[in-house]
Chains A and B, each alone.
Chain A
Amino acid sequence: MKQFVYLIFVLIIVNACKEVYEIPPQAFVQASFLNSSTKAAVSQNVTVWGVGHEYLWVKDSLLQKILLPLSSNDTTSFVISFDSKIDTITFIHQTMQKFASMESGFYFEYKLQSIDYTNNQIDSILITDSLVTKKWNENIKLYLTPSATDGN
């Protein structure tokens, strides 16, 4: 009888644990901010939102690196506000559907093909790794004009 009660107890514990599922992974573009003159890493006060999107992705934060989510379409555009200067970055990419697990479902990974951008604060952009995967690593270097990075 004691063993039976023990078995029921174990089954209850197993049953409670089995409904815990991991959330699916996400792939982000990781961008680093650098001074275009010195090529040194800089921290920037940034606000970021997606073009046509009403919610901010990053709100007024001092960052040296930033993670950007791409959409499942082949083009994703962001507006980045460096203090008062505003730039738009457009990623042209391939989207690849990936399987995480039968509990977590699917997620997307990407291959960067090209990047279009405005030059108000951004001097240039270099793609260092075109594959945007769930293992976050630096994908682009964002070189900013010195005037904006002075003092940081």
Chain B
Amino acid sequence: MRILSFTLLLLLLTAISYGQGEQEKKIKPKRTDNYIRMRGIRLGMDVTRPFQDLWTKGNRYGSEFSADLEVWPNWFSVFESGYEVMKVKTDFIDYTGQGSYSRIGFDYNFLQAEQKNDKDVLFFGLRYGFSLARQKVNQYWVDSYWGPVTGQFGNQNYFAHWGEFLIGIKGELFHNFYMGWTVRGKVKFNHKNLWMPPVYFIPGYGKAAKGFNMDFTYSIYYNIPWDFRKKKSAKTPEIKK
């Protein structure tokens, strides 16, 4: 329910900012939540990765884990890493592409805390992603009047990298347990060119032929309750009400 309300809030924010236009320029008040709200490292797992097969062409699945840490008030450094497999089997080809990928970046929370213990965040983020992968055509079939021609292509290794911008939320469901989603736009920077067949799938990115891919994630998180910045926390100012 909380996640739903954040979604509505996001839509409202968009509508309000559009409606205001040039009519009035409000001076943005200073944030009163300039303090580290999340102590320790938060570990997460994307629960959508094993089920990508449901909405992608071919059989795509994998797993992804993440870690984030609030390094400065409202600024979270993020590391995400995973492994993905893509299999395509049709009457004409049997293809497998697989590999690991990682992303590093940050999130900025622009949802102001209303209470000191409020740890929910609505954020914008940027990522740099890269992947080391390999692909293989186990067998292909070319049918013709002269009879079928079959063949195969062995393992081909490649590297790819890309950038991501994203928007999302993370809400604390129970003490130290979070859930959240992101919607991402992915812009490909480059990948190794293979002669035949060309690179088809980039783990963590999607179809290599596209210069831009959209994606979404839905993750669960656990904040390890280990306050390694305890001394600093003693100086944390209270929220002004």
Q: Do A and B come from one complex?
A: yes
CB pair B55–A14 under 8 Å, yes or no, is yes
CB pair A71–B93 under 8 Å, yes or no, is no
Q: How far is the CB of B214 from chain A (nearest CB, A)?
A: 14
Of residues 77 through 108 on chain B, the ones whose CB sits less than 8 Å from some CB of chain A are 88, 90-93, 95
Residue of B nearest to A20 (CB): B57
CB pair A21–B91 under 8 Å, yes or no, is yes
* Known contacts A102-B88, A104-B90, A104-B92, A18 near B145 by CB under 8 Å: no
How far is A33 from B197 in the complex, measured between Cα atoms in Å? 38
CB pair A50–B198 under 8 Å, yes or no, is no
CB pair A105–B57 under 8 Å, yes or no, is no
How far is A2 from B54 in the complex, measured between Cα atoms in Å? 20
Kindly supply a per-residue 1/0 record for chain B positions 133-168, scoring 1 wherever the CB is within 8 Å of any chain A CB and 0 otherwise. Answer: 000000011101110010100000000000000000
A99 interface neighbour in B56, B57, B196, Cβ under 8 Å: B196
Give the interface residue-count category, chain A: 20 to 34
How far is A11 from B56 in the complex, measured between Cα atoms in Å? 10
Q: How far is the CB of A71 from chain B (nearest CB, A)?
A: 4
CB pair B145–A104 under 8 Å, yes or no, is no
- A91 contacts partner chain B, Cβ-Cβ < 8 Å: no
| Chain B positions within 8 Å of A108 at CB level | 142, 144, 149
| Chain A positions within 8 Å of B140 at CB level | 105-106
CB pair B142–A72 under 8 Å, yes or no, is yes
How far is A11 from B52 in the complex, measured between Cα atoms in Å? 11
How far is A72 from B144 in the complex, measured between Cα atoms in Å? 9
How far is A13 from B28 in the complex, measured between Cα atoms in Å? 46
Q: How far is the CB of A40 from chain B (nearest CB, A)?
A: 30
How far is A15 from B142 in the complex, measured between Cα atoms in Å? 26
| Chain B positions within 8 Å of A37 at CB level | none
| Chain A positions within 8 Å of B92 at CB level | 21, 23-24, 103-106
* Known contacts A14-B55, A103-B88, A105-B140, A50 near B145 by CB under 8 Å: yes
B145 interface neighbour in A21, A69, A103, A107, Cβ under 8 Å: A69
Q: How far is the CB of A42 from chain B (nearest CB, A)?
A: 25
- A53 contacts partner chain B, Cβ-Cβ < 8 Å: yes
Please provide the 4 A-B residue pairs with the shortest distance between their CB atoms, ordered closest to farther.
A105-B92, A105-B93, A71-B146, A102-B200
Report B's interface with A, CB cutoff 8 A: 54-58, 88, 90-93, 95, 140-142, 144-146, 149, 151, 196-198, 200-201
Report A's interface with B, CB cutoff 8 A: 11, 14-15, 18, 21, 23-24, 26, 50, 53, 55, 57, 69, 71-72, 76, 97, 99, 102-108
Q: List 6 A-B contacts (CB under 8 A).
A: A15-B54, A26-B144, A50-B146, A72-B142, A105-B142, A108-B144
